[in-house]
Amino acid sequence: MEMHVTNLACTRGGLRVLEGVSFRVSPGQALVLRGPNGIGKTTLLRTLAGLQPADAGSVDPGPEAMAYASHADGNKATLTVGENLTFWARLHGMTDIGAALRDFNLETLVERPGGSLSAGQKRRLGLARMAVTGRPIWLFDEPTVSLDTDSVALFAAAITRHLDAGGSAVIATHIDLGLQGEVLQLGPFKAEAPQHADDFHEAFL
Amino acid sequence: MIALLKRDLALAVRAGGGFGLALAFFLIVVTLTPFAVGPNSATLSVIAAGILWLGALLSCLLSLDRILALDFEDGSLELLATAPIPLEGVAATKAVAHWLTTGLPLTLVAPALGVLLNLPEGGYLWLTLSLAIGTPALSVIGTFGAALTVGLKRGGLLLSLIVLPLYVPTLIFGAEVARRGAEGMSLDTPLAILAGITLATIALLPFASAAAIRINLR
Amino acid sequence: MSERLTRPTSLWEYANPRRFMALSGFLLPWVAIGTAATLLIGLVWGFFFTPDDYRQGSTVKIIYVHVPSAMIAINCWLMMLITSLVWLIRRHHVSALAAKAAAPIGATMTVIALLTGAIWGQPMWGTWWAWDPRLTSFLILFLFYLGYMALWAAVENPDTAAELTSVLCIVGSVFAVLSRYALVFWNQGLHQGASLSLDKEENVSDVFYWPLLLCIAGFVGFFILLILIRTRTEVRARRLQALIARERMA
């Protein structure tokens, strides 16, 4: 499934941060988002995931094709690794979590409660969740935070496997994961201060 | 939705879920009442039905902020919003889970606590029935309040302030059923209205809750 | 602000903050003068030039404050409901700000109605407070206002706050009406019937009627005046925020 983003504008806290963002991602490709802090990488990813409405422009396909991994992993301390993952799988109508456990090297941790995992292990569990959603387009927001070198390699391998299977990914990261695809610098899309006082969001000026 | 319900129930039952807290609070309220109004059993039997309803309502209030706040903090609410089930379904499921872990146990222990307060003999059936019919509305309304305040850091007190006025009709008709039952009066009308309130809130409020969650996640 | 505004082609255009500021700035002194005149005439007429009631004595004169404030207290919530709906459907910022501006006024009017009612009730019913459905529903209305204002105050992002309070206002309205009927069911009260109604039989007698009508008109004017002033303040506050945000972005 090819992803088209056309002329997208996003707002954060009532202020437009990005505008005119256009790109396309073909199956088997990964798009890496780059840009200085505060440019709006998270805002863009949240808009793609359908968590906040786009100010302008269009995203095709819609949020139902995307799986989103934010800074927070959304796993429960009192549930085991297996239970956490099974829950997300069943929520998405999937049953098999074996492959995801294998890909992120979690097999030995299945019975451990989420609360007893290290930061890196929690992160791996959070990323493994993407594999059980069955969705073609994966959105990652700084996925490699608190991962060691081995885990980063594991993560890159899992993404590559997903891409090879015809999926695609949009990743906000500063690390070179060696993936097939392009890099998009968000700097040029930074929203200008509006020129017209009648502009909707600046109507107060 | 079944998966979500199962997860929420598992979370509530395991350590740190706060399950049983509401029951303990209910017991304390009922225990403290005679200290406040005196041990006269005639007085207690007059106010028993009302105190039990008020106690159940306050106990229910106690656990409302856990309905969504925990999921908001660890990011799973955001992930639930991107999941294939509609957010309205999430809100409704959360309310059901809250009722199963709070409203239902409160309903079941209420008759036992009724003994402590000298509830008249005819009242037990109607007290239990009115709680069984009325407490689902408390959970659904409470979920709406939790949805409104989910993004706030100090939302607990605000949640009570918002939810308590919304509890007024449910409390009035619920306690009316219990009171009339205890006094052996006819109670068809308040019982029917109480059931109506519960059904209407279950049918409509999840939409408002989902809208509030969506706004708060933005 | 110095640019010329084009002629409006639809009523909705007054929802543009700049147009609202221009129009409300023009209206403000006229509303103020009209309100002052109406209130002054109504209150002086009512307090000094109407006879005492044969049963209630001079305490009846509190009606000139009690009834108008009670009417404003209820209709203020109605206004908030309408402006909330306008914000949710048409996304006019001024509408949301008007709802925010109205809430404290409504809460104050509710308190005034409750206090004057208590002062009136003491000599009439021999008690400051009774759990009569009308009195109780005003107390609950006050609680609704408190919750609504607290939610506005607690949410930082003004647009999020506007949306959440709008949802609360709509849901709250349904529950407020429900509570009203629940209270009537719960306790048949001792409050007298409506002071004003189209049904002539129930009306207050003619001597009190006209000054009361003037007082109500005066209170409505006063309400509009306060709404305009407070909404203008809110618009200016938002403008300030927008300026600061733009500064930060540049």
Instruction: State the pLDDT confidence band at C201, using cuts at 50, 70 and 90.
Output: very low
**Residue in chain C nearest A16 by alpha carbon:** C249
Residues of C in contact with A204 (CB under 8 A): 17, 93, 235, 238-239, 241-242
Confidence of residue C205 (pLDDT cuts 50, 70, 90): low
More confident residue, C174 or A74: C174
* CA distances from residue A62 to A1, A11, A65, A121, A130 in whole angstroms, order as listed: 11, 18, 6, 31, 17
Q: Which residues of C touch B155 (CB under 8 A)?
A: 154
For the segment C196-224, the average pLDDT, to the nearest whole number, is: 75
pLDDT at B29 (0 to 100): 93
A40-59 confidence digits (pLDDT tens) = 888 899 999 988 888 888 88
Give the lowest-confidence range in A153-157, A176-180, C19-23, C138-142: A176-180
Residue C21 pLDDT: 87
For residue C175, give its domain range. 19-192+205-249
- The tokens of B92 are what? 């409704």
pLDDT score at A203: 56
Cβ <8 Å between A205 and C159? no
Q: Which of A193, A198, A203 sits opposite C246 (nearest CB)?
A: A193
Residue A34's beta-bridge partner residues? Answer: A185
Contact yes or no for A203 and C159 at CB 8 A: no
Considering only CB atoms, which chain B residues are within 8 Å of C144?
165
pLDDT at C91: 83
Q: Looking at the partner chain, which of B158, B168, B218 has a beta carbon nearest the beta carbon of C154?
A: B158
pLDDT tens digits along C82-127: 999 999 988 888 889 999 999 999 999 999 999 998 888 888 778 8
Residue C44 sits at the chain B interface (C-beta within 8 Å): no
Residue C89: which H helix or E strand, with range? helix C63-90
Q: Which has more pLDDT, C189 or A76?
A: A76
Contact C160 B215 (CB under 8 A): yes
Any chain C CB within 8 A of the CB of B181?
A: no
Contact call for C17 and A14, based on CB within 8 A: no
Return phi, psi of residue C120, to 5°.
-75, -40
Contacts of range C33-39, beta carbons closer than 8 Å, 24 or more positions apart: C34/C221, C35/C218, C35/C221, C35/C222, C35/C224, C35/C225, C38/C214, C38/C217, C38/C218, C38/C221, C39/C215, C39/C218, C39/C219, C39/C221, C39/C222
Evaluate whether residue C48 is within a structural domain: yes
Structural domains in chain A?
Answer: 27-55+63-184 (3.40.50.300)
Instruction: Name every chain B residue with its beta carbon within 8 A of the beta carbon of A51.
Output: 78, 81-82, 217-218
**Is C9 within the bounds of a domain?**
no
Residue B84 to residue A90, Cβ atoms within 8 A: no
Q: Please give the pLDDT value at position A196.
A: 42
Whether the predicted pLDDT of C1 surpasses 50: no
Q: Residue B159: its pLDDT value, please?
A: 93
Q: Closest partner residue to A50 among B73, B76, B82, by Cβ?
A: B82
Lowest-confidence pick of A177-181, B71-75, C120-124, C190-194: C190-194
Residue C33 counted as domain residue: yes
Q: Could you give the number of structural domains in chain C? A: 1
User: Would you kindly state where each structural domain of chain B is located, as residue ranges?
Assistant: 2-217
Q: How remote is the C-alpha of A197 from its chain's centroid?
A: 35
pLDDT confidence of residue C7:
63
Q: What is the pLDDT along chain B (218 residues), one digit of tens a residue?
A: 788 888 888 888 776 656 788 899 999 999 999 999 988 989 999 899 999 999 999 999 988 988 898 889 888 899 999 888 899 999 999 999 999 999 999 999 999 999 999 898 888 999 999 999 999 999 999 999 999 999 887 778 899 999 999 999 999 999 999 988 888 888 888 999 999 999 999 999 999 999 999 999 88
Whether residue C160 lies within 8 A of chain B, CB to CB, comes out as yes
Q: Are strands A56-60 and A3-12 parallel, antiparallel or unpaired?
A: antiparallel
Please judge whether C160 and B173 are an interchain contact, meaning their C-beta atoms are less than 8 angstroms apart: no
Provide CB contacts within 8 A for C107, sequence distance 6+. Answer: C142, C145, C146, C149
pLDDT band at C202 (very low <50, low <70, confident <90, very high): very low
pLDDT one-digit tens code per residue, A116-130: 888 888 888 888 888
- The answer as to whether C10 is a domain residue is no
Taking the CA of residue C155 and the nearest CA in chain B, the distance in Å comes to 7
Segment C26-51, tens digit of pLDDT: 999 999 999 999 999 988 888 888 77
Tell me how close the Cα of A8 comes to any Cα of chain C, in angstroms. 19
User: What is the nearest CA distance from A193 to chain B, expressed in angstroms?
Assistant: 22
Residues of chain B contacting A, Cβ within 8 Å: 2-4, 6-7, 10-11, 14-17, 71, 73-76, 78-85, 217-218
Cβ–Cβ below 8 Å for B148 and C178: no
CB contacts of C91 in chain B (<8 Å) are none
Q: Do C16 and A203 touch (CB under 8 A)?
A: yes
Which of C173, C178, C184 should one mutate to test binding to chain B, selecting the residue with the greatest count of B CBs within 10 A? C178
Q: How far is A158 from chain B (nearest CA, A)?
A: 20
Please tell me which of the candidates B16, B73, B218 has its beta carbon nearest to residue A78. B16
**B43-46, long-range: CB within 8 Å, 24+ apart, which pairs?**
B44/B117, B44/B118, B45/B117, B45/B118, B45/B119, B45/B120, B45/B182
- Mean predicted confidence (pLDDT) in C126-135: 84
Nearest Cα to Cα of residue C114 among C58, C66, C173: C66
Interface residues of C toward A, Cβ cutoff 8 Å, are 3, 16-18, 93, 157-159, 235, 238-239, 241-243, 245-246, 249-250
A81 close to A109: Cβ distance less than 8 angstroms: yes
* Chain A / chain C CB contacts < 8 angstroms: 31
Report which secondary-structure segment, H or E, holds A88. Answer: helix A81-91
End-to-end CA distance of chain C: 21
